[in-house]
Every structure is written in structure tokens, then in C-alpha cells.
Amino acid sequence: MKAKADMNCVGKTFCAFVLLTVAVTMVTMANIRVSKIAGASVNLTCGDISRMDLILVTWKIRPRTGNHCTLAYRTDQNKTDRTNCSERMDWKSSPDTDSALQIRQVTLTDEGCYSCETVNSGGNFNQTYTLTVLVPPELTLTCDSKGTAVCKAAVGKPAAQISWDPNGDSRTEFENHTDGTVTVRSIYSPNETSITCLVSHPASNKSISKECPSDNRNTFLQYFAISAGLLGILFILALIFLCKLHRGRIWYKSKIPETAPTHNVQDSNEQQELEPYASYVQKENVIYNTVYEVTVSEDLPPQLQSAT
């Protein structure tokens, strides 16, 4: 009976130890997400642990791209070890006083998992970080001759969100790059000339304004240009017609003196043609009168003939 009781006690103690170990493991294995803007520095600590009886500190770095890296420090030997780590990754200060890791001027290649494992008299502790690097987009706003506005948030991470003031219908396009950045374009046809592009991004919120010709204004300008062109064409045609009319009048006036002598020449020619006939008629009349007088004188009495 006593042996059985001892076995039960040992079993309960072992179960309690296992449960306590699992509980401790679940508590200490925490994952913290950290976001930093590209170019900034970041400090990662090993958590709230006691440095009393600290034996070993190890940073295990597993980036999403590239080789894994390890930084380790053993207190009993006062020795550090470094494997495949960039010069930008190092202890924040002396590892015997501070086990924090510092990353200077973070880049997209630094994204990944960072784990700090410590061993002391109290057991093993693990603190894990997931590092995300933010890249602010480059903002530009352009307008074309048709009044269409294009707001571009280039090579940002994550993708930026674009809105417009005044609000209106827009079309958004995305372009993914191999380094994980995204270029976002928003195409907008405003009804107003003064517009503002608003860009929302975890790294920064920006806005840019510009004066753009609206569609209504462009339509008015198009109609105005067409009307002006038509009026110009009509004016040119009218000017050509007036010039031709004026030249026709000058030509007509210049031709009148030339036609008058021609008419006189014709009359003269006709007169010359009629002169022989007139002379002939005149001669005939003279002959007729002479014959008539002779005939009359022959028929008169002698008294009257002498008087005649």
C-alpha cells in the first residue's frame, strides 16, 4: 500500500511538473509585431527577464529573403558569437549589461522573424518579433490636356489608399514590384478645376493639390475653337467674294470706253455703206424733177410756156 501511495505521489508530481512546464512555455513564447519605416533604427529586447544567473542569450534572425543570422553571448565565458549577420545588426550595447538587438537603417531585406532565447537559473525563455518594414510612397499629381487627373503613389509598402477632394468617380490601378512594393494610380475626371489628391498610408498621410482644367471647360473651349474656326472660314469666303465683286466692277468700268468707239465705227461703216445709195436716190430725184418739168412745160399753152 505504501509503495502504491508513493507511486501515486510521484505520478501527480510529474503531471504537475509537465503542466507547469507547458504553462510556462505558453506564457513565455510571445510574438510581437513591429513595424518600422525604411531607413529608421529599431531596438528589440529579450523581454522582462531577470539577468540574475543569466547563462546564455541567443538572437536567431530568419529574414524572408537571404541567409539566417545568429548572435550569441555566454556569460560564463564572456564570449560572443556572430554568424552571417549584417554590420547593421548588433547588440544595442555590451551584451553583458543589455541583451537587446539593434538594427540600424532597416531595409526591406530585414523583414522577417527575430527570436531571443535566454537561459538562466529560472529556465528557458523565448521572445519572438515579426518585423515589417514600411516604405512611404512617392506622391505625384498630373493633369493631361483633356482635364483627366492622375494621382500616383509609387513604390510604397503596403499599397497606399487614394481619395479625391472633391469626391467623384475614379479608377484605381495597381502595379506590384518584385521587392514587395506597390505602385497605385488613381485616374479621376473632375468637374472642378481645383482638386486635391489624398494618400493614406501607415508610414505617412499626404496630400497634394493642383489646378486642372475640367471636362466642362475643355468642352466649352472645344466648341469655342470650332465656332471661331467656322466664323474665320466664313469671313475669308466673304472677303474673297467681295474682292471678286470689286474686281468685276473695275473690269466693267474699264471696258465701257472700249465698246463706245466700236459702236461709232459700226455706225460710220453703215453710213459709208448707205452714202452711195443716198447719192443714187438724190440723183434719181434730180432726174425725175427735170423730166417732170419738161413734161409739164410741153403740156402748157404757149403763153404759159414763155412765162415758165
Task: Check whether residue 128 and residue 143 sit in a common domain.
Answer: no
For residue 52, what pLDDT is reported?
78
Range with the largest mean pLDDT of 138-152, 269-283, 294-308: 138-152
Q: Quick check: 164 pLDDT over 70?
A: yes
Q: DSSP for 187-250?
A: EE--SSSEEEEEEE-SS--EEEEEE---HHHHHHHHHHHHHHHHHHHHHHHHHHHHHHHHHHHH
For residue 33, what pLDDT is reported?
96
For residue 22, what pLDDT is reported?
37
Counting residues of the chain whose pLDDT is more than 70, the rounded percentage is 69
Task: Check whether residue 32 and residue 48 sit in a common domain.
Answer: yes
Task: Check whether residue 201 and residue 247 sit in a common domain.
Answer: no
Task: Check whether residue 127 and residue 145 sit in a common domain.
Answer: no
Mean pLDDT of 55-82: 94
Range with the largest mean pLDDT of 157-166, 186-195, 219-228: 157-166
If one compares 16 and 144, the residue with the highest pLDDT of the two is 144
Task: Check whether residue 99 and residue 150 sit in a common domain.
Answer: no
11 belongs to a structural domain: no
Task: Check whether residue 206 and residue 238 sit in a common domain.
Answer: no
Q: Quick check: 110 pLDDT over 90?
A: yes
Residue 241: pLDDT band (50, 70, 90) is confident
155 belongs to a structural domain: yes
Residue 10: pLDDT band (50, 70, 90) is very low
20 belongs to a structural domain: no
Task: Check whether residue 128 and residue 70 sit in a common domain.
Answer: yes
4 belongs to a structural domain: no
For residue 256, what pLDDT is reported?
61
108 belongs to a structural domain: yes
For residue 287, what pLDDT is reported?
54
Last residue of a domain, one of 133, 157, 183: 133
Q: Quick check: 152 pLDDT over 90?
A: yes
1 belongs to a structural domain: no
Per the prediction, the chain carries an average pLDDT of: 79
Task: Check whether residue 93 and residue 69 sit in a common domain.
Answer: yes
Find the Cα–Cα–Cα–Cα dihedral 96, 102, 104, 108, rounded to 10°.
140
Which pairs with CB-CB distance under 8 Å and at least 24 residues apart come from 187-192?
Answer: 187/148, 187/149, 187/150, 188/148, 188/149, 188/150, 188/151, 188/164, 189/147, 189/148, 189/149, 189/215, 190/147, 190/149, 190/164, 190/166, 190/214, 190/215, 191/166, 191/215, 191/216, 192/166
Last residue of a domain, one of 180, 213, 246: 213
Mean pLDDT of 122-134: 94
For residue 4, what pLDDT is reported?
46
For residue 108, what pLDDT is reported?
96
Task: Check whether residue 223 and residue 292 sit in a common domain.
Answer: yes
Task: Check whether residue 268 and residue 221 sit in a common domain.
Answer: yes
Residue from 63, 60, 199 nearest 132 by CA: 63
Q: Quick check: 116 pLDDT over 50?
A: yes
Whole-model pTM over 0.75: no
Grid coordinates given for 62: 530568419
Domain count, the chain: 3
**What secondary structure letter does DSSP report for 113?**
E
Kind of pairing between the strands at 30-37 and 123-134? parallel
Q: Quick check: 162 pLDDT over 90?
A: yes
Grid coordinates given for 12: 501527480
Q: Which residues contact 173 (CB under 8 A, 6 or more apart)?
A: 184, 185, 186, 187
For residue 14, what pLDDT is reported?
40
Q: Which residues contact 187 (CB under 8 A, 6 or more apart)?
A: 148, 149, 150, 170, 171, 172, 173
Task: Check whether residue 97 and residue 185 sit in a common domain.
Answer: no
* Integer Cα distance of 150 and 207 in angstroms: 13
Residue 1: pLDDT band (50, 70, 90) is very low
Which pairs with CB-CB distance under 8 Å and at least 24 residues apart come from 28-31?
Answer: 28/124, 28/125, 28/126, 28/127, 29/126, 29/128, 30/127, 30/128, 31/128, 31/129, 31/130
43 belongs to a structural domain: yes
Grid coordinates given for 13: 508530481
Last residue of a domain, one of 110, 133, 156: 133
Domain residues for 116? Answer: 27-133
6 belongs to a structural domain: no
Q: Write the CATH number for 91.
A: 2.60.40.10
- The answer to whether 215 and 222 are in contact (CB under 8 A) is no
Task: Check whether residue 37 and residue 127 sit in a common domain.
Answer: yes
Instruction: State the DSSP H helix or E strand holding residue 77, giving kind and residue range, or none if neither.
Output: none
Residue 59: pLDDT band (50, 70, 90) is very high
